[in-house]
Structure 1
């Protein structure tokens, strides 16, 4: 059990894990659909995919 930020009550570990899982699923879906709100993330992921295409063409 972990303590909450603003109170002294303890948060159940299940809620923390489920909220993290929901966040990761949401972000993964955004990546699949190419819907990025952060320009840095957009540029980083486009760069990663371009590098992957380069390696695929170059190394195969």
Structure 2
């Protein structure tokens, strides 16, 4: 769990939204962001932002 905590502190999940998720994905990779979305609790708004961002990007 320590590595997940490190990643969440670097990425600042609470600041990720539909408007900047593309930048986060570009910077940290889609696998990292998807992992955090799936395994970090309490991130329902982030999950929605993630999929909106990817859909807008044409990757969904």
Same fold at TM > 0.5: no
**Based on CA coordinates, which of the two structures has the bigger radius of gyration?**
1
Q: Give the helix-richer structure, 1 or 2.
A: 2
Q: Give the strand-richer structure, 1 or 2.
A: 1
